[in-house]
Chains A and B, each alone.
Chain A
Amino acid sequence: MKFRILMALLRKELLLMRANPFVLRVVLALPVMVMLVIPLVASMDVRNVSVAVVNLDHSPLAARLTAGIEAVGELNIAGGYDSYAGAIDEVERGRADVVLTIPRGFARDFSAGRMPSLDIAANGVNATKGATGASYVAGAVSSTLAAVAEAEGIVLPEDAPAMFNLFNPTLNFRNYMIPGLMVMLIIMICGFLPAMNIVGEKESGTIEAVNVTPVGRFTFVLSKLIPYWVAGLIVVAEAMLIGRVVWGLAPLGSVCVLFLAAVLFILVMSGLGVAIANVSSTILQCIFVMFACIMVFQLMGGLFTPINSMPSWARMLTLAVPPRYYIEIMRSVYLKGSSFAEIWTQFAALAAFAAGFCALAAATYRKRA
């Protein structure tokens, strides 16, 4: 009986979607566009870092260090200088991003088994390029030194600098970005579309024709959500397929775990969207509130900036930002191959948010004013 009513309402949603194929086009085209284009352009990988070398040592080892830097694809040598001031001048003119100073007596100290200090200075105006560039230079220098030390039988002190990246060995930003993009797609499609659908019915007055019938509010809200749950799963599948085929990024962990997380996150976003729609009377109002939420989600969820580098009060706040957990699940399953048991706390948090937002959606839907 209730089921028949739900089926009738779902049939109506499908007929309306067929009459206005906007939603269908969004569901099919948006993931393709986002997954194909954004990883190409929104890369934070740093390339073309110019290094000014202040060579005060003039030893063959200094020349080897310079050659070692030049051998790194992302780095090029802006020039060799006799004084630090000359190199800084190049930085100020925008011709160099990083300055490497090789002190006098460097080769001698190195051969004697002492680890002499090298000075690497980065232009902080473009913070990302400077910091990443400096770490590339440090990497190039230490691998050259390690190779020389091994060839010449020099024993380096234990605390010699060493750096290596776990889980994303090439530090390829794309691999970090793609799971994040899938999160963004669910936010857009499962958050916005049902909200706009419900407010649209308010604006056209048809919701009143439904409210005056004995249809249960749960049945009605379900009839609004089910189509977008299906749409969300299609979007996730589409995005994963493009990630695999076009970008060669396959999840190291289980696809089932990814889908389980997607289901929970879809519930979170659609519940939030419906709750916002229930308290909005126009589409504009609804979209504005959604945007406010989504901005917080994107900036505080760890999508673009790592949560670990936020101040501690902001880190506390991110505990209340549901995409945070989904992003963590996506990245750890994709890049680390985490199993469900390792990230069950994130699942628990996401499930709690899903239950909370769906309850909110049902509670805010009123048949009477």
Chain B
Amino acid sequence: MNSDVIIVRNLTKRFGAFTAVDAISFSVRRGEIFGFLGANGAGKTTAMRMLCGLSIPTSGSASVAGCDIVTEPEPVKRNIGYMSQRFALYGALTVMQNLRLFATVYGMSDADFRQSARTLMQWLDMESLADTTVSSLPVGWKQKLAFAAATIHNPSVLFLDEPTGGVDPITRRRFWELIYKVASEGMTVFVTTHYLDEAEYCDRVCIMVDGSIRALDTPAELKKKYKCDTVDAVFRQVAQTALRSADA
């Protein structure tokens, strides 16, 4: 089944006179890994926060997993997992306490949680850390835990906002293996990044410049169209017109 799980039409967000996201439109298919690329300040996070029901769009519409993000933000939240750019779990709680909290909030029963947590921990190689206080974990492990907390309830769409920021290359590689694994099980993954090598791993990538979409296709098609060898080179070509300051 190849139906669209995310449908975005002219989605816009303004903060006063500043237009963070300017009338973007796109669709994401079920099970797809959809990469959202852009410099800092291009509007990636704002767009994602609107899709997660954390931010109200100024105009335009979008639906996620069949629910309208403007009128049904709470049903949207039941179907998604979100991993924010900034680590946002409870540092004073242990790994298991954090996972249990989020599983319960999503309505999982104790038995389901135990089963799901066991599999997830095994899979993330974190079994020995179950009772460790989260604040004492190194960054890479924290990111893995945040990933676990966002996927424990088996959402149909997973939003990852720069999941590999500040993570070493080997852990990044491992992280993408995780993303592939959940996508292969049918989870749709919407991921923002500014590591352009990571864009190569996506099914399709969308390049945002100054709040609007400048390019959207599979990495192979983009490279062909812009006659480049890497997505990195494509990005340089597309984003060179950027007006907003970025720490490129």
Binds B, one of A89-97, A209-217, A290-298: A209-217
A16–B97 alpha-carbon span in the complex (Å): 11
Identify which of A11, A19, A213, A369 gathers the most chain B CB atoms within 10 Å of its CB: A213
- Least distance between B142 CB and chain A CB atoms (Å): 12
Contact B105 A215 (CB under 8 A): yes
B53 near A4: Cβ-Cβ < 8 Å: no
| Binary per-residue interface labels of chain A (1-16) against chain B in the complex, 1 for a CB within 8 Å, 0 otherwise | 1001100110110011
Judge whether B82 and A212 touch: CB under 8 Å.
yes
CA–CA, A97 and B105, complex, Å: 69
Which residues of chain B have C-beta atoms less than 8 A from A12's C-beta? 90, 93, 97, 101
- If A212-B54, A368-B73, A369-B55 touch, whether A8 touches B105 (CB-CB below 8 Å) is yes
Task: Give chain B nearest CB distance to A287 CB in angstroms.
Answer: 22
Q: Kindly report which residue of chain A lies nearest to residue B15, judged by CB atoms.
A: A369
**B221 lies within 8 A of chain A by Cβ:** no
Q: A15-B93, A214-B78 are in contact. Are A208 and B105 (CB under 8 A)?
A: no
Q: Which residues from 64 to 80 on chain B have a C-beta closer than 8 Å to any C-beta of chain A?
A: 73-75, 77-78, 80
Tell me the nearest residue of chain A to B79, going by C-beta. Answer: A214
Contact with A along B196-237 (1 / 0, CB 8 A): 000000000000000000000000000000000000000000
Complex CA gap A205/B56 in Å reads 19
Given contacts A5-B105, A212-B77, contact A16 B92 (CB under 8 A): yes
> In the complex, how many angstroms separate the beta carbon of B237 from the nearest chain A beta carbon?
34
Chain B proximity of A197: nearest CB distance (Å): 12
**Are A210 and B56 touching (Cβ within 8 A)?**
no
Q: Mark contacts of B76-103 with chain A using CB atoms, 8 A cut-off: 1 yes-contact digit, 0 otherwise.
A: 0110101010111111110001001110
The interface size bin for chain B is 20 to 34
User: Do A208 and B84 have beta carbons less than 8 Å apart?
Assistant: yes
From the candidates A8, A16, A211, A367, name the one contacting B104 in the complex (CB within 8 A): A8
A213 touches B106 (CB 8 A): yes
The answer, among A19, A20, A213, A369, for a CB contact under 8 Å with B105, is A213
Interface: A305 (CB within 8 A)? no
Complex contact B92–A208 (CB within 8 A):
no
A194-214 with Cβ < 8 A to chain B:
204-206, 208-214
Chain A positions within 8 Å of B104 at CB level? 4-5, 8
**Please, which residues of chain B bring their CB within 8 A of the CB of A20?**
92
* 21 sampled A-B residue pairs with Cβ under 8 A: A1-B107, A4-B107, A8-B101, A12-B90, A15-B92, A15-B93, A19-B93, A20-B92, A204-B88, A204-B91, A205-B87, A209-B82, A209-B84, A209-B88, A212-B53, A212-B77, A214-B106, A367-B73, A367-B74, A368-B56, A369-B55
Residues of A within 8 A of B (CB): 1, 4-5, 8-9, 11-12, 15-16, 19-20, 204-206, 208-215, 367-369
